[in-house]
Each structure stands twice: as C-alpha cells, then as structure tokens.
A and B are shown apart, each in its own frame.
Chain A
Amino acid sequence: MSAPGSMMKRLRGIERLDVARGFALVLAGLFLGGIIHVAVVMSVPHFVPVTAYARAAAFGPDGVFNRLPDSRPGAEPLPMLDPMMLHAACRFDLDDGPLKIAAALPPPFWSFALFNARGEAIYSLNDRTSGNDGMLDVLVITTEQLSVLREDPPPGLEDLIVIETAETLGYALLRSFDGDPMRRDIKEAALAEASCRTLDQE
C-alpha cells in the first residue's frame, strides 16, 4: 500500500530537482549573457573600420588643412556636420613631431576641435576662448616631446596654447560660420591659409 506513495514522493522529488537544475542553467546562461553584453559593448569602438578619422583621409593628404566639401543632403562629407559652417580638417601623427596649428579666421564665429583616432573630442575652443584676439595658435604635443622641448624652448612658446595629449593619431577640425554669402570668399581664403605643420626639431 505504501509503495506507490513513496514512488510518487520520489518522482516529485526528481521533478523538483530538474526544475532547480533548469533554473540553474538559465541563471548561468543569463550570467554568461551579461558578460558577453559588456564585452561586446566595450569592444565596439575598437572594431569600427570607418571612423571619422578614417573618413577624413578622403579629403586630401595628412598634415595640412583640407577643405571639406559643403554638407548637402545625401552628400555629407562627415556625418552630423552643420551645413551652415565651412569645415577644414587636418589629420596628424604626433610620432612625426609636435604639431603647430595656426589660423586667423574672420568673425563672427569659428571653433576648433581636436579629435583622437576614435573620433572622440580631446580639446576644443572657439574664437572667444582662444584668448588671442580671435587668432588660433596651438601646439599639440606628447608629454615626452614637451619635456624635450622645455629644455630648449623656442621663442614664442608661452604665447601658444599647448595641448598635451597621449594620443598620437587624430585630426583637427576648424569650423567657420558661413552666415553671410557675401563674405564667403574671405572665409575661404582664411581657411586656405590655416596651417597645420610639424614643428621642426633639430
């Protein structure tokens, strides 16, 4: 009489155990999923082939400011540029030496930003914050190069904005507000004059 009862009890025990086992499996799966989620999200920026830095190479040689074509619908040189700005970009490699960037852009507004190879902004300023009468005069330099440069500082170093960075690859972007079509020639000429060159090192 008691045999079927104990049988049922044992069966029920096995079922409960299997449910627990199933839960453990799902939980383990979810934990693994969490690890994969974090790993994938963190690694995406390192596996993107077409960064803004890579795209900027299409507009001309490295080490000079290249005018980007105007942003038009369906033909934006880089995504999310303001169509009411004139842009010039300069790709650089600090392994060639410190980079000196100079520009004298006309008012009413211009801005300058430095991006690393992953397209993240590392430094930026505009004509008001340049603190140099609306002129842009910056030196982009690595920490080692700066310590070498400090031993024999070139004249005028204290007038430059020195940007110390650990990133050796990147691009600089100049934006000049193009609100007045009559004055566009002046802005184009000023952008063409903008320089982005490696500082000579003896």
Chain B
Amino acid sequence: MTVAFDRNPETDGLAPDRVPAILRHRRGHMWLSLAVILAIGLVTGLGSAYLAVDNAPAFDTLELGVWQARPLQGTTEADPYSAATHARTGRVPLASGEGLIFLARSDSAGATLSPACDYLLEGQAAPARLWTLTALDAGLRLSDTGAERSGLHSRQVLRRPDGSFAVHVAARARAGNWLPSARDADGLVLALRLYDTPLTTGTGVANVPMPEITRGDCR
C-alpha cells in the first residue's frame, strides 16, 4: 500500500533536519576549544592589565609644554588605571587644595632627559604661591646628588628684572640657580611642585608659562 517516495510530506517532518555543519556535534573538541579560549583570554587579559597598570595610560593629563600633571591622580575621581598605578606605588599625591605636581621627562626638543647631561631651565613658572623643583629618577625617587640640598624653591631662586629665571640642572655646582642632579642615577625626571595654584581648579590653563628645558653638555 505504501509507496516509497523519496520525500514523503507525511513522514518528512518526523525525520530530524539535517544539522548544519557548524552546529554538528564534534567529539573531543570542546575541551580543546575551551583551553584555547582560556589561554588566549589569560594571556591577553593579564598581559594588557599588567602593561596598563605598570605604565598608566595618560587620561586627563594637563600638559604645559614638556610639563605634565595629572590633577585627578590620587583622588577618588581618578580613572581605574591611574587608581591602580597609584595604589601599587603607594605614592602620596598632592591633593587639589594643596597644589599640583608637574613632571618633565623630556627636554623642549623632545629628547628624553638623561642624567648624563646638563640642562638649562629658563622662563617663568605657572602662577603659584610657592614652587619647589627636585630631580627624581625614572621611578620618581629622589636622586642621590650628594649635594646638601635636594632641590630648589621659588623663594631662593634668583630672578631677572622681568621675573623670569634660569636654573642650571647639573651634577657639578654652578653659579646662579643650581639644581643638583645625579650623574649615575637611573633616569632623570624633573618635578615642579606648584603649591596653592589656580591650576588645580582647572581655570586659566591657556597661556600659562612654564620653563623651557634646553640640553647643555653631555658626558
């Protein structure tokens, strides 16, 4: 009675549909796939997190020439990368009601500051009631200069009649304004701390003067 058609509309629906290849069950591949996903995830995730925390991306950086400040660093409003870096290093930030730390890692020509070179800082500092200038190493620790004092502040700096100043950054003592640096230090970063400055409120950032840094003799 039954006629064997190739496709029977009555029974066709009873047979399972042909499973597309991509959905077909493949034995033994699931664990391998999971392992691959996990490996890629761990390597990229942990690697990128380490790099990001080790060298925080510069969100909300205030740049004035070669000088960079991060007003939000060390506050509760800091971005997560900055917060992670900050927590890991245990640094004590300068809070907004106190002042702002500007760091210079390169000279005005764009070359990275080197402890083997002498530098000349020239110009004016941004408005502040008080500023201090110190030489740090690449890890932002104080450089061991062997000199009696570890920095220079705005009340001891000698100025020209127009209010500008020139500071020699050198390992050997210089006439005039001298900031001792350490020739054998691991890197050189100049830190200019502005105390009680209107810059912390973010007002008047345009046309604010900051000293230019020019390279002198190197050894």
Measured CB to CB, the nearest residue on chain A to B156 is A179
A149 contacts partner chain B, Cβ-Cβ < 8 Å = no
Which parts of B26-46 form the interface with A (CB within 8 Å)? Answer: 33, 36-46
Q: In the bound complex, do residue B196 and residue A126 qualify as a contact, i.e. CB atoms below 8 Å apart?
A: yes
Q: In the bound complex, do residue B87 and residue A80 qualify as a contact, i.e. CB atoms below 8 Å apart?
A: no
A111 contacts partner chain B, Cβ-Cβ < 8 Å = yes
B134 contacts partner chain A, Cβ-Cβ < 8 Å = yes
Q: Tell me, in angstroms, the Cα distance from A55 to B91 when the chains sit together.
A: 11
Q: In the bound complex, do residue A71 and residue B142 qualify as a contact, i.e. CB atoms below 8 Å apart?
A: yes
Out of A40, A119, A121, A180, which one reaches B87, CB within 8 Å? A119
Measured CB to CB, the nearest residue on chain B to A56 is B92
- B-contacting 9-mer, from A44-52, A59-67, A92-100, A187-195: A44-52
Q: In the bound complex, do residue B90 and residue A55 qualify as a contact, i.e. CB atoms below 8 Å apart?
A: yes
Residues of A within 8 A of B91 (CB): 52, 78-80, 119
Which parts of A20-44 form the interface with B (CB within 8 Å)? Answer: 20-21, 25-26, 28-37, 39-42, 44
Residues of chain A at interface, number, CB under 8 A: 64
By DSSP majority rule, is chain A's interface helix, strand, loop, or mixed?
mixed
The number of A-B residue pairs with CB atoms under 8 Å apart is 201
Residues of A within 8 A of B101 (CB): 80
Q: Tell me, in angstroms, the Cα distance from A103 to B84 when the chains sit together.
A: 33
Out of B38, B97, B151, which one reaches A126, CB within 8 Å? B97
Residues of B within 8 A of A119 (CB): 74, 86-87, 90-93
By DSSP majority rule, is chain B's interface helix, strand, loop, or mixed?
mixed
Shortest A59–chain B CB gap in Å is 13
A29-B44, A82-B193, A121-B95 given; A72·B150 CB < 8 A: yes
Residues of B within 8 A of A179 (CB): 130, 153, 155-156
Q: In the bound complex, do residue A113 and residue B84 qualify as a contact, i.e. CB atoms below 8 Å apart?
A: no
Shortest beta-carbon contacts, A-B, top 5 = A29-B40, A36-B45, A32-B41, A124-B95, A33-B44
Q: A40-B53, A74-B141, A84-B134 are known; give 10 further A-B pairs, CB within 8 A.
A: A21-B22, A26-B40, A28-B41, A32-B40, A48-B87, A76-B141, A76-B142, A81-B92, A108-B130, A113-B95
Q: List 12 A-B contacts (CB under 8 A).
A: A32-B40, A34-B45, A35-B45, A44-B83, A44-B84, A50-B90, A51-B90, A80-B91, A111-B98, A115-B92, A120-B76, A124-B98
A residues contacting B by CB (< 8 A) are 13-14, 17, 20-21, 25-26, 28-37, 39-42, 44-45, 48, 50-52, 55, 71-74, 76, 78-85, 108-109, 111-113, 115-116, 118-126, 128-129, 173, 175, 177, 179-180
